[in-house]
Amino acid sequence: MSGECLKMPVKQGSVVRKSGKVFGQGKKAAKTIRAGLYARVSTLDQQTLPMQSRAMREYASRRGWTIAMQVKEVGSGATQRQMREKLIDAARRREIDIVLVWRLDRWGRSVTDLLATLQELEHLGVGFVSLTEALDLTTPAGRAMAALLSVFAEFEREILGERVRAGLAHARQNGKQLGRPTTAAQHTKEIRRLHRSSISKSEIARQLNIGRTSVRRILTSEKG
């Protein structure tokens, strides 16, 4: 997996000043919104990376945002998204005010992972916008969508839990031993009993599903 992280120079405390008055009061200076852009593609689909970046930069320009950081990541969906972590770290350091992504599935590995990162950004006071889905969590409609995501995340966790429980039950029905493998030491008495019955070491190991070396070691210690 490869990635690229570009930090754009931003003047600290810079503001956009406008003259004029509204209803006899001076306008408040508008705060500069510092955006962090995140683009990700699979290893076999790198040609769409420039398109994602261009579309997000144009959107940020239309919103009047300053691009403080731009992250590009290449890798499979199953891998840890290290470049995404750099962007989240920037949010923790209060270096960006909003995260802009091309699409939700580019940001989150699962619904649960997506919700966890969105909740952290919300806690940090950092906004989140997904360009393709027109999802803006700084708006009431966007926050309502985030609430729906929490429901889906819980549903995802329940489905995974049911699959695990079903898999364990199926394994038990097929006689598969679960948990940690039994050590040879736990079979000491049974090994000695079988050996006294003139059963070979190889056959003891096969019956108890342990190594012949372990059987030999236990029987040798008995002689000592």
Same domain flag for 123 and 197? no
**What is the model's pTM?**
0.54
Residue 23 pLDDT? 41
Same domain flag for 148 and 214? no
Q: Which of 2, 14, 42, 61 is catalytic?
A: 42
Q: Is residue 158 part of a domain?
A: no
Same domain flag for 191 and 83? no
Catalytic residue at 42? yes
- Name the burial class of residue 113, with classes exposed (0-12), middle (13-18) and buried (19+) by CB atoms within 10 angstroms of its CB: middle
What CATH number does residue 82 fall under?
3.40.50.1390
For residues 152 and 183, what is the distance between their CA atoms, to the nearest angstrom?
42
The model's pLDDT over 193-216, given as tens digits with 9 standing for 90+, comes to 887 877 888 888 877 777 778 888
DSSP track, 20-86: -EETTEEPPPEEPPEEEEEEEE-TT-GGGHHHHHHHHHHHHHHHT-EEEEEEEEES-TTS--HHHHH
Same domain flag for 118 and 53? yes
Q: How big is the chain, counted in residues?
A: 224
Same domain flag for 110 and 193? no
Same domain flag for 41 and 137? yes
The percent of residues in the chain predicted with pLDDT above 70, rounded, is: 62
- Range of weakest confidence among 46-55, 83-92, 124-133, 205-214: 205-214
Q: Which domain holds residue 46?
A: 2-10+30-152
Same domain flag for 56 and 147? yes
Domain count, the chain: 2
